[in-house]
Amino acid sequence: MSLPVPTMPRTLGRGLVVSPIGLGCMGLSHGYGPPLPTSEAIDLVHHAVARGITFFDTAEMYGPFTNEEVVGEALAPHRDRVVIATKFGFNLDPDSGDNHGGLNSRPEHIRVAVEGMLRRLRTDRIDLLYQHRVDPAVPIEDVAGAVNDLILAGKVLHFGLSEASAATIRRAHAVCPVTALQSEYSLWWREPESATFSTLEELGIGFVPFSPLGRGFLAGAIDAATVFTPGDFRHSIPRLSTENRRANQALIDLLARLAAERGATPAQVAIAWILAQRPWVVPIPGTTKRHRVDENIAATAIALESDDLRAIAEAVSAVEIQGARYTEQLDKLVDR
């Protein structure tokens, strides 16, 4: 049986056309334990391209730098067929990648950071450049102005923000049109619906959910017995503590039942639910496994009707999710 291919593209902002789901590449080399061998990471990205994914998400912070290098090498043969998104905003040494701590979105730093990104990504332009986190020390108008200059120079095509508030989005958009907002969004984290969706819809800005599968939990890939490998940042996420995984298993049991009724997997129902929310929403689930790429892509073929969405919403609302999504330190980086 042939596997479905995501043939219905979606448009972010004013004209950035991408596959209905993308590939979040962070986990290939950062955040989830030991990095994949480069050859395996490249093979996974090539598999995603072959399966119809055209939207790939990375950041200079992932590694730092190594993730962009892997993504750049993998996508170089396919450059004109794909959209590459990356992010600036942390105080990284532009040569060594040493993390000097904190945020840095000064215009002069952005310009230097982009030169490094272009080199590592083996390209002459960045399709979508996000500010990774809003820097309270730099007016967002200055950030937007710096990115607009890079757009005029042809080095960047589209501007994005990550974990930004509605007020910040409006201020940035007034200087340089914002193409996409990237924030966490899933069946167990729905704050963007009330915090930013109306602003995005009004201004014509796309939305790119990261962690659409709850860092693997909504896929049923981990449970209370899972032991995270050294270097896996999920060790520190309160929502994914052993106690809270046990308490939140009720949501997975519910998703499994809903999925079985639809001949799907929990991950596919979770992604299909996101896709059904708005036509300008493009989730970027990450994985290190080819079969998970295929599973996620198959979610684009699941059509959830209004009755399905209502049933899922009612069922999920009855489950009380335990634990914060971020540590206190990481939560301070979220713009509100």
Name residue, tokens 């939990």. Answer: 217
Q: Could you give the CA distance from residue 282 to residue 126 in angstroms, rounded to a whole number? A: 18
Q: Is the pTM of this model over 0.85?
A: yes
> Is residue 51 within 8 Å of 297, Cβ to Cβ?
yes
Q: Which two tokens stand for residue 104?
A: 């840095």
Q: Are 296 and 248 in contact (CB under 8 A)?
A: no
The H-or-E segment that residue 180 falls in is strand 178-184
Residue 223: which residues within 8 A CB-CB, separation 6 or more?
245, 246, 249, 252
The CATH superfamily of 10-213+276-302 is NADP-dependent oxidoreductase domain (3.20.20.100)
162 sits in which H/E element: strand 159-162
The residue annotated as part of the active site, out of 62, 130, 185, 326, is 62
CA atoms within 13 A on the CB side of 224: 9
| pLDDT tens profile 227-239 | 999 889 999 999 9
Q: In sequence order, what are the beta bridge partners of 206? A: 180
List Cβ neighbours of 291 (8 Å cut-off, separation of 6 or more): none
Both tokens of 193, joined, read 């619906």
Task: Supply the pLDDT for residue 313.
Answer: 84
Task: Convert the pLDDT of each residue in 32-90 to its tens digit.
Answer: 999 999 999 999 999 999 999 999 999 999 999 999 999 999 999 999 999 999 999 99
Whole-angstrom Cα Rg for the chain: 19
62 is an active site residue: yes
Report the alpha-carbon distance of residue 284 to residue 275 in Å, rounded.
11
**DSSP-based three-state secondary structure for 95:** coil
Encode pLDDT of 291-314 as tens digits.
Answer: 999 999 999 999 899 998 988 888
Q: How far apart are CA 231 and CA 70, in angstroms?
A: 19
**pLDDT per residue over 131-141, tens digit each?**
999 999 999 99
